[in-house]
Amino acid sequence: MEDTSLVVQFPEGAATGTVEATGSMRPTTVVAGDSVYMLLINQGVTPSVSKSATALDWGLLLVKGSVSGGNKITWKETHVVTLGNGQRIPKSLSQLVSGGGSGVKTEDGTLMFPMRATKKNGNTSLLSMCFDKSEKKWKLSQKTVGDGCRDPTIVEWGEDRLLMMASCERGCRNVYASTASGVDWYTSGEPLTRVWGNSHDRKGYGVQNGFIKVTIEKKDVMLVTLPVFSKENREENEKRAGSTFG
């Protein structure tokens, strides 16, 4: 069972109106240098969307911190996330929350977060939200992808392309692509299957993975890492399995 519990220590007078938020939540994070950005739900607000809803109704918060000595994170800023004027949520959605994976800070300074949404029919899907530094406002992607998927991770691939990978309930990992703006997402290639096991009938989301771009021998590749366990001692013999594509 994965551990999704998280304790967030907010500074006094933060936008949350509280000093500490404790509970089970699935935040989305972006790490850039020694800065850490975390998108999460304000537990004092019930997230919901309607035809005229803005992000303020979702109860989304952006918390910024910095990494200091000893790899400790000090949380310094907390902001309520609101959409720019004219931005609307797709009518098919009933709820929007942080995705539980990780996003990216692109080369032009844009913060890009993967999001998870619930449709009115009860199904879940994925989309993205970014903070446009030049316009100083949040923007939501126009379409959703990845029905039944979760824990999405976004990475920058080249100068004008983003990739998003997510765990899907049928036991595979889907990959989606977008332009650098993240406005529209579409399926890219075939699903990644049997990456973390050799079962032909694998079902369920599996464990959360890492998804990063690295350069090996002057060639950019995507590196996918997942924890694997020996049969003898699952807890003490955790290892990392890797897969690459590029």
| Dihedral sign (CA 96, 97, 100, 106) | positive
**Cα radius of gyration (the chain):** 18
Q: Residues 129, 147: contact at Cβ < 8 Å?
A: no
- Which domains does the chain show, CATH number per domain? 5-245 (2.120.10.10)
Nearest C-alpha neighbor of 6 from the set 36, 47, 51, 50: 36
Q: How far apart are CA 35 and CA 38, in angstroms?
A: 10
Q: How far apart are CA 38 and CA 111, in angstroms?
A: 11
Q: How far apart are CA 144 and CA 157, in angstroms?
A: 20
Q: What string of pLDDT tens digits covers the 246 residues of the chain?
A: 333 333 344 444 444 433 344 444 678 899 998 999 999 876 655 555 554 444 445 678 888 999 988 778 888 888 888 776 666 667 777 777 777 788 999 888 889 999 888 888 888 889 999 887 777 888 888 888 988 888 888 988 877 889 998 888 777 788 899 987 888 899 887 777 655 554 555 555 555 566 777 788 888 887 777 666 566 655 554 444 445 455
At residue 69, the 3 state secondary structure works out as helix
Cα dihedral 162, 167, 170, 173, rounded to 10, equals: 50
Question: Which residue pairs from 7-11 have beta carbons closer than 8 angstroms and sit at least 24 positions apart in sequence?
Answer: 8/38, 8/40, 8/63, 8/75, 9/75, 10/63, 10/75, 10/78, 11/75, 11/76, 11/77, 11/78
